[in-house]
Amino acid sequence: MDGRSTCLKNVLISGGAGFVGAATARAVAEKYPQCDITIIDLHPTGPTHVVPDSASFIQVDITNADEVSKALQQARPDVVIHAAGIVPVLAERFGRRIENQVWRANVEGTRNMLEAAKGSGANAFVYTSTCCVVTDDMGRPYPNIDEHWPTSPQPLIYGESKAAAEAFVLQYSRDVMPTCALRASVLCGPGDYQLVPAIHVCIAKRETPFVIGTGSNLWDVTYVPNIADAHVLAAENLMSSKTAAGEAFFIQNNETITFRDFCLAVWVHFGHIPPFELHIAERLAYLAGLLSEASTWITGKTTTISRGSVQDTCAVRYANGEKARRILGYEARVGIEDGIRLSCEDLARRLGIELPCPSELKSE
């Protein structure tokens, strides 16, 4: 590792207007203020995901090979960070309704990016993958998994499309353009539109006292600036020692906690402590999920509870961060406690509400 002598000069980030991409753009700009940053994205940059002022923006649909190739020829980056992709929203996560769309963006898009990157003479390609490539095979526990674990054979559309794209990226690794993949765990942080908001909504829905399963299943979560740091480290590695070439890495905060505790910690920030706790056996909840899915099928209205979401809630999913530590020198810069606080503050700002200060909570 000699991050100091390596210098990122020209970086292109796909999906740079999104959650992970924008955070990565900020991390690059913070560490290399002189670096040229080009953001390509389907959607223009907005106030939710703040990008550095210095970054230039090109609107590109990554499923369109010509547009991608043109943008890369124009930017001529040393490093391509491919963070664009579709993460299906919860209601679509367990179904196959948008399968074609997800595969086109996640697999075709990645192929277009790789070929355009090679064509424009890039020297490194970092792919934002996900732990779902392994853990989307539902109903199995994944305690302390490492990179030797297989990608799952029967995953959900998200996991399988990302796994296919990841395999393609890693096979593409050559000396002229080494590649690597970063498997992010579940994310939280500024601009998060899935995790913390969904947990916050439970307060209004009065769902907080209900614990599905034992509530003792551990999982990983990553504060998004930490995964952004990992992208910078991976780019530096591929530009210098190349020890990460062709490799996948699990990236997370390395502070495993239970899903229940994560939720409780979020609620506390919004001044809410469940008045009581009611445990619902996993099987019962699974049955409720099944009935709820049936009602969705009949009425066409989607609900939060489904068999998949019950399994997600009860799953044991955490990875061993040793490989990323060893090869990339990755350590989470922001601990999960601060990460949750900052995520909640960001959400409160977006919702236009004020968080109670901790001392008020104490007197409650």
Active-site residue numbers? 162
Least distance from C-beta 147 to another protein, angstroms? Answer: 8
Residue 273 makes contact with another protein by CB under 8 A: yes
Q: Residue 266 CB, nearest distance to another protein (Å)?
A: 10
Which of 17, 145, 224, 347 is the binder for another protein (CB under 8 A)? Answer: 145
Among the listed residues 97, 291, 358, 360, the single contact to another protein using CB under 8 A: 358
The reply to whether 141 sits near another protein by the rule CB under 8 A is: yes
Judged by CB under 8 A, which stretch of 15-23, 141-149, 189-197, 287-295 contacts another protein? 141-149
Position 110, amino acid: T
Exactly one of 202, 257, 324, 344 binds another protein (CB under 8 A); that residue is 257
User: Which of the stretches 49-57, 149-157, 199-207, 244-252 binds another protein when contact is defined by CB under 8 A?
Assistant: 149-157
Does 207 engage in binding with another protein (CB under 8 A)? no
Write out the binding residues for another protein, residues 153-182 only, by CB under 8 A: 153
Q: Judged by CB under 8 A, does residue 150 bind another protein?
A: yes
119 contributes a contact to another protein by CB under 8 A: no
Please identify which residue in 195, 264, 315, 342 interacts with another protein, judged by CB under 8 A.
264
Q: Which is nearer to another protein, 301 or 362 (CB)?
A: 362
CA end-to-end span of the chain: 50
CB of 181 to another protein, least distance (A): 17
Stretch that binds another protein, among 42-50, 102-110, 138-146, 286-294 (CB under 8 A): 138-146
Give one word for 271, left, alpha or beta, with left for phi > 0 and alpha for psi -120 to 50: left
Q: Which of 268, 290, 348, 355 binds another protein (CB under 8 A)?
A: 268
